[in-house]
Structure 1
């Protein structure tokens, strides 16, 4: 039997990695698909490509094929190709009814001579899901809509809407990916579907800044609370908390609440919540307020630009 170079069929070197092989296969199969190609041999080329990828796209089959391609299994003087005894045990052949003699001979004795459909796992898909920061503290359930490509009854790729119920676990962080097994692209030939990866993104909220599991929250305080000290109540993502503002606090002072950041997981401890004090000045929009500001200006002799 004549040796068939599957690497040449796909136009890749023997050192090509799995991604390069898949990319080459998809490019060529799109080019020669009978529905779109004007090439006279499009159907034959498509079958050759499917046959080649059926072997090189499977790590175990590729390893065995590479072994078969070594010089020790070639007949001398171009006499064809001779597989080693008992080669192929444990592999399945590709379907299609028109495999090359080379492929048939290699896989004829596999599985007791039975021929099975060519199977390929579906592709993984990726999407972004936007959640509120509070969802990372408490967990949540969301229903999301996805536009995904699927093959219709004629084998053409179309875009369809699908909805999916998603559980947001407590303690997720921005950029983390949630894996939903089997929710990616469907497989072919009865193979498993790929997975769906949802990347977490926090909805914009001017009150908070998030760094990993640490959360920074701006908290307005009155001038007298900052100057004299005060006990205040603050609404945080985890609920309301009582906080002591130390006397003589300046704007920008940072109060740390240990463990009040995004909750921890088995792999990472909880973050901290940092309250950034911001001095909020009452408006001088009444005669009384203006009088108080004028009295402060006379009595305090305060120069905020001293030393500049």
Structure 2
């Protein structure tokens, strides 16, 4: 999620008129659908998006470590997964998945509730005839701010549990320890970075998905294959381009003691500018792209799943309400 693609799906194409003879006009959810339905569709897509490829996300977090333990230096994603399972246990790649599920469901549900409400409200205020891309864009931005406010604490806990030799026994132990030793503010050190990352991520993802759909599915009918392919391509492009900010976010979330002490950072690192500077000090330009392979491998199927699940919800609901 980091991915809010299903919301952009509605945002992107509600302004596209149905083609003559198009029997599968499901481009926007029917007017009679309740907010709870929007929230349910988004929550399901969000949970699947974040959990299906979770082991690869664990590898990505470790690969983004700026001064990893020698026992946690990996040549590739599969080699990392094999070593994690062989040396640390079968369930190691899934550490932190419970907090991700707890965060992703409400975060995506609130995203949809906010998006739908603000899209209608802002559209009415600007008195735009028909559908307003301005209203959709503003609504999507506001919804992202809300989504990340809910998801950011879960990201902090998740990434600390994913790190090699993590000292946390469980999700609750991690939450209590962070709160006691670093304060509530620790759960939001990367919030600004997360928002700055999502702006280009969503822009690249939105443009790529729409362009690919124009090539593969010009009539904009329900076509699972095209949604999966377009989602995968869009996820890969957006993930690769925004990896530098993701590396900074990981550093802010994990507060790697060895890495920070090596550049004489005392206490806790905070702020996007400090993170960007620290990453360069520790790894140079290459440091901004640590874990890019794992991030792309994780994001491609995750984005494809999120798009296909939400497109199916739209298709299924439009058939039942029409």
TM bin, normalised by shorter chain, reads under 0.3
Larger relative strand fraction: 1
Provide TM-score, normalisation by structure 2: 0.23
Larger relative helix fraction: 2
Provide TM-score, normalisation by structure 1: 0.24
